Amino acid sequence: MSTTTVNVQGMTCEHCVNAVRSEVARIAGVTDVQVDLDSGAVTISSEGMLDDTAVRAAVDEAGYELVQ
């Protein structure tokens, strides 16, 4: 089991949270996604290490920006 936290910019409401959660949850191996709207932190639990490119693509697909 692995946990990764990334920061997402541009989320302003629960709709934003749900969009990010939904797209990230589609990544193979992801078991849970927690999103903190106030901080922009997205904590992803997965069966193994996540591919950074897949996470970035999922956030982009949701319409937001992954920040480092």
Task: Give domain limits for the chain.
Answer: 2-67
- For helices 14-25 and 52-62, the axis angle rounded to 10 degrees is 140
Per-residue pLDDT of the chain (68 residues; tens, 9 = 90+): 999 999 999 999 999 999 999 999 999 999 999 999 999 999 999 999 999 999 999 999 999 999 97
Q: What are φ and ψ of residue 17, in 5° steps?
A: -60, -45
Helix (H) or strand (E) holding 17: helix 14-25
pTM: 0.93
Q: What is the pLDDT of residue 16?
A: 97
Contact 37, 11 (CB under 8 A): yes
**CA–CA separation, 33 and 45 (whole Å):** 6
Q: What is the pLDDT of residue 30?
A: 98
* CATH class, range 2-67: alpha beta
**CA–CA separation, 23 and 25 (whole Å):** 5
